[in-house]
A and B are shown apart, each in its own frame.
Chain A
């Protein structure tokens, strides 16, 4: 059973990251109906930023964290202004221009980081916890893993409160429903979408910052996060925070169990199989409110 529970804990940690990417998507999507294909690259920026601030510049943890969070959020805000907003003004379901534009932005981020860092891999950053942890039975719960899981839980709680209780959170949902109508009710759609992208950027930065000590990284890992985060949402359901949680954790645990018991070579197939199973059984994902059809 040690193998099993070790895999589950590792899976929850990895799944929390997938979940955080999924949350980033959801926050931006809920306000703009745009699926930000650069979301995974924001996580990559978080990882690389941690490397730069902690290993190269040797800044204190708190300063490094603030710097990473602020700069990734700023990149996300720039993305909103340059790449996303032009498409929010136009309507029309046939337009998938934002798909192409965010894909392009993702390529730009990746290329810029590659130019700055070279194509070298960044080794996992030393964690303040080292390899320590608590033993539960024979299973070691690493503090680094617990930090990731705990951070994820905290982010989820904050967002649930944000959407449920605050005016801004509800205004965001209203804006996604009907940008024009929201504008008429005194909601400024531009500031809403900018705020949403800043929040999505923060989610990506947080994910990158907490995962930096447990992962290897290079500029190309962004696409992997982008797609795994999407798979998490496809499993859990689009548009809800809960969907991102369930989907992310399911995917993470599923992958780690597959690695432990079958083979880590074909890990990539786990997500695909899970998504196809979910699509077959419940096409709207595990958690998704059905949307009434309007003609």
Chain B
């Protein structure tokens, strides 16, 4: 895939892989039995492709693909047994897909809210339970299972080699299906969910619905696997869908490289081939794949394909071209969009950037963000105690105060991470505090950054910013999956916005670096860029200057000013007073959850109460966060904690 980025090259690779798949029986054997083994491996591969969507793309530890496979396969077998009209490959696959999707929706609906390893273990348990139940139930044939060989009207057509080729074709089509998902807006949402749910929520992405999507999309290939399995083997029994099947497929996906497109196919196929080859010395099978699982998890967590890519990157850095985050078969070639301005600006004054477009749809009213009497306690500790605050659009408002004064708590209250114990928060008359959680607040145009940057570290810088820019996409998620013209226009616009924002903060040369590999200070700027790209009405920055070099701090200041010029309301929580006093128009000082001063930087720095708090006169000589200069102002001692 990476070998050839141009279209003819890409097509050639696809053709090559298809040829390998189709011609493999020449190596393996073309007898009925040998082809049957290969059909089984193909079914496992299809299952792996499905599992990879939920495990590799969305990062959900779903460990029971064989449960969906089993239910689908039984549904297909029952359909073919009872209805003559259903006795075709496609209709059996359809029956299987429907059953698998229903079960996936059930598992997801019941376990996703708690998530984490609940999902993993419950799904593994379902995979254990389904064959046990099928083995007891007479309708599913009990232990002996269902055999289509006894159904006289059932005729395999296609069969033999033709059926195998059809199977290879299905796998190829499913690879395309993955590609379509991976490079859609929904696919980027999967990436955000995998990186951090808090982050995803701050971008207006609902973890619950996104995970549910990943389940439903994963159930389709797994269902097809079930249908293909029953059709090709003409037999299903509890033994053929045991929980071991899940473990093999998980092993294959992880070994091949979860999260890639080709990796799971290669990995599961290898595991399947190994199962067939090791069949003769059965008892060592578990030992082999156990050891392999451990070694892969520890030594090459990105799988075969990940190692291959790393190797490629080391040998030929130029080959690590930008992964196409937008539809590359569409009209935007990333390489064309890449600006040719390689040298990083060194001067202290960054170029004055173009104003990013503001969020639309507020009718030019520019209503302020208003906090009235906000209260929040944790147990007996009152963290925020009756705070009033107004953030005007187009202005920069700083929130300062000693550690533990409630700044970040207030920020979390505004963005809906915490619920209020008293008071109100709203934009104009629109209440934010009565909304359910973080996602609707983000969707109303309140963007934020985190004290510790939350990024998708396995995505490029550009990809991270695009995830922010996606907030204002006009098309539907289904449209983004289908890559409709509208979705492609959305993607183009998001990419364009992202480049513009990156250009503004002087990071455009980093656009194709992996976010995990850039320096910490740059990660902060990246997070701010993502917030800007979401085209919000308000941006809340939580200690944006911590860990920035002076040079980066200049870019930060300029970015903040640019945001305000573009009409955004900026609320900046910061310890670094020089930066605050430099950019802020209004400063609010918190101490022990209360507002103790408010005014221009000049006024606030002369306020005796502020001086007392910052000098720490109650505990003379200790805990001083600042010092007085000769004129009695709070001097600008940065406290970077």
Q: Which residues of A contact B (CB under 8 A)?
A: 35, 82-83, 86-87, 93-101, 103-108, 110-112, 114-115, 119, 223-224, 227, 230-231, 234, 265-266, 268-269, 271-272, 275-276, 279-280, 283-284, 292-293, 295
Across the interface, which residues of B come within 8 angstroms of A266, CB to CB?
Answer: 133, 136
Across the interface, which residues of A come within 8 angstroms of B292, CB to CB?
Answer: 104
Across the interface, which residues of B come within 8 angstroms of A103, CB to CB?
Answer: 247, 250, 293
When the two chains form the complex, which single residue of B113, B284, B417 contacts A115, counting CB atoms closer than 8 Å? B284
Report whether over half of chain A's contact residues are helix, strand or loop; otherwise say mixed.
helix
Give the contacts of B45-61 with A (CB-CB under 8 A): 59, 61
Within the assembled complex, what's the spacing in Å between the Cα atoms of A83 and B113? 29
In the complex, how many residue pairs between chain A and chain B have their CB atoms under 8 Å apart? Answer: 125
Contact across chains for A101 and B283 when beta carbons are under 8 A apart: no
Give the contacts of B177-201 with A (CB-CB under 8 A): 194-196, 198
Contact across chains for B294 and A295 when beta carbons are under 8 A apart: no
Contact across chains for A105 and B290 when beta carbons are under 8 A apart: yes
Report whether over half of chain B's contact residues are helix, strand or loop; otherwise say mixed.
helix
Contact across chains for A94 and B136 when beta carbons are under 8 A apart: no
Chain A binder among B118-126, B215-223, B500-508: B118-126
Contact across chains for A97 and B301 when beta carbons are under 8 A apart: yes
Contact across chains for B250 and A86 when beta carbons are under 8 A apart: no
Across the interface, which residues of A come within 8 angstroms of B412, CB to CB?
Answer: 295
Contact across chains for A104 and B198 when beta carbons are under 8 A apart: no
Chain A CB within 8 A of B114 CB: yes
Across the interface, which residues of A come within 8 angstroms of B128, CB to CB?
Answer: 223-224, 227, 268
Contact across chains for B290 and A104 when beta carbons are under 8 A apart: yes
Q: How many of chain B's residues touch chain A, expressed as a range? A: 35 or more
Within the assembled complex, what's the spacing in Å between the Cα atoms of A283 and B132? 27
Within the assembled complex, what's the spacing in Å between the Cα atoms of A279 and B110? 7
A268 with B129, Cβ < 8 A, contacts A100-B296, A111-B286, A279-B110 known = yes
Nearest-neighbour CB distance to chain A for B138, whole angstroms, equals: 11
Give the contacts of B247-292 with A (CB-CB under 8 A): 247, 250-251, 254, 283-287, 289-292
A230 with B132, Cβ < 8 A, contacts A107-B286, A111-B287, A280-B110 known = no
Within the assembled complex, what's the spacing in Å between the Cα atoms of A95 and B133? 33
Across the interface, which residues of B come within 8 angstroms of A101, CB to CB?
Answer: 293-294, 297-298
Across the interface, which residues of B come within 8 angstroms of A275, CB to CB?
Answer: 122, 125
When the two chains form the complex, which single residue of B121, B254, B451 contacts A227, counting CB atoms closer than 8 Å? B121
A94 with B124, Cβ < 8 A, contacts A103-B250, A110-B286 known = no
Contact across chains for B136 and A293 when beta carbons are under 8 A apart: no
Contact across chains for B111 and A35 when beta carbons are under 8 A apart: no
Residue interface mask B516-549, A partner, CB < 8 A = 1 = 0000000000000000000000000000000000
Contact across chains for A107 and B117 when beta carbons are under 8 A apart: no
Contact across chains for A272 and B290 when beta carbons are under 8 A apart: no
Residue of B nearest to A86 (CB): B298
Chain A CB within 8 A of B378 CB: yes
Residue of B nearest to A97 (CB): B297
When the two chains form the complex, which single residue of B110, B136, B196 contacts A276, counting CB atoms closer than 8 Å? B110
Chain A CB within 8 A of B512 CB: no
Residue interface mask B438-452, A partner, CB < 8 A = 1 = 000000000000110
Across the interface, which residues of A come within 8 angstroms of B120, CB to CB?
Answer: 96, 99
